[in-house]
């Protein structure tokens, strides 16, 4: 599915490599009399969706940083970590939603500063991002498999289904699983929005889209399967005091030091994913305003 969508978007990018992306493409693929309404709807859905996507990435990074704080907090008298994002103390959460949101806002400001750098500076950063992403994924997979003492069987990983939806329906849980998949498939046209700053965008844009789908799809599958093998206790992981089950898997495997090192790479990759998403979002907003589609564009 990802390859089909990616290939379709890549074909459109090769034909119309502009920062506006899909709303500009609409001009060439719908009847002339319907272009204004379809382009307007497409543009606003794209802009609002990408803005929400950037915010969700920042919120996730915020949760990951607070989980890291929990991993490195001191032990209380009960032998548990003193900082527990999902623990209530006298009916009040140790980590409030306000803390998470404020940290998210700070992260968005940092992302904004990075995205305001010159094209040359951004190019240098991006050159490092892909290798770090790939090497971190490989390193984390190897470390988890080596350090986890009691790994799950292949039969459990590939056949066991746990219904955590609360609806007592494995089919519904299966459908809920597509939410995470959809999150990673929301910005295939991100390359389009950077096309006006890319040499030979009609060729390099489509190649970048299809390469990303194949390469990072494979690494994503590898990382997901590895983490499933390393879930030593499913209930304990789901009820992790860190607030994030993935952080608990890292902690169980590498301890406080090793788990934090591996988790730091995951946070770094997620942070620069947010920067990439913000870059695409800002370029799209610029193109939309350039076409007088945003309020106060003139």
**CA-CA-CA-CA torsion sign (73, 78, 80, 85):** negative
Burial category of 144 from C-beta neighbours within 10 Å (exposed 0-12, middle 13-18, buried 19 and up): buried
**pTM over cut 0.75:** yes
Please tell me the distance from the alpha carbon of residue 103 to that of residue 109, in angstroms, as a whole number.
10
Q: Which residue carries 């209380």 as its tokens?
A: 76
Break the chain into its structural domains and give their ranges.
2-290
Helix or strand or coil: residue 73? Answer: coil
**Local confidence pLDDT in tens for the 298 residues of the chain:** 788 888 988 998 899 998 988 899 988 889 999 999 999 999 999 999 999 999 999 999 999 999 999 888 876 666 566 666 655 555 444 556 788 899 999 999 999 999 999 888 988 888 888 889 899 999 999 999 999 988 999 999 999 888 877 888 888 888 888 887 777 777 778 888 888 888 888 999 899 889 988 988 899 999 999 999 999 999 889 888 888 999 999 999 999 999 999 999 999 999 999 999 999 999 999 999 999 889 888 7
DSSP E strand stretches across the chain: 88-89, 92-93
Helix or strand or coil: residue 89? Answer: strand
């Amino acid at each position: 599915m990802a390859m089909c969508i990616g290939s379709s978007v890549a074909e459109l990018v090769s034909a119309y490599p502009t920062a506006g992306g899909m709303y500009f493409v609409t001009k060439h693929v719908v009847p002339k009399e319907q272009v204004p309404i379809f382009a307007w709807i497409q543009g606003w859905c794209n802009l609002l969706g990408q803005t929400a996507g950037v915010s969700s990435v920042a919120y996730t990074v915020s949760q990951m940083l607070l989980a890291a704080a929990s991993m490195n907090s001191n032990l209380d008298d009960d032998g548990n970590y003193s900082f527990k994002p999902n623990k209530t103390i006298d009916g009040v959460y140790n980590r409030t939603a306000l803390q998470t949101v404020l940290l998210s806002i700070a992260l968005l400001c940092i992302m904004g500063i990075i995205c305001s750098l010159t094209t040359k500076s951004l190019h240098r950063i991006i050159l490092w991002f892909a290798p770090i992403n790939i090497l971190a994924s490989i390193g984390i997979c190897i470390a988890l498999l080596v350090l986890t003492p009691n790994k799950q069987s292949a039969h459990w990983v590939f056949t066991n289904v746990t219904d955590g939806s609360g609806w007592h329906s494995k089919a519904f849980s299966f459908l809920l699983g597509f939410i995470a998949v959809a999150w990673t498939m929301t910005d295939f046209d991100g390359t389009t929005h950077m096309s006006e700053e890319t040499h030979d965008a009609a060729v390099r844009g489509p190649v970048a889209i299809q390469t990303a789908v194949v390469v990072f799809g494979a690494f994503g599958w590898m990382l997901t399967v590895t983490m499933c093998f390393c879930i030593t206790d499913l209930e304990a992981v789901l009820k992790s005091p860190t607030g994030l089950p993935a952080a608990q898997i890292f902690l169980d495997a590498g301890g406080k030091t090793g788990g934090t090192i591996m988790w730091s790479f995951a946070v770094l990759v997620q942070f620069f994913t947010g920067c990439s998403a913000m870059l695409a979002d800002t370029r799209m907003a610029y193109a939309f305003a350039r076409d007088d589609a945003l309020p106060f564009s003139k």
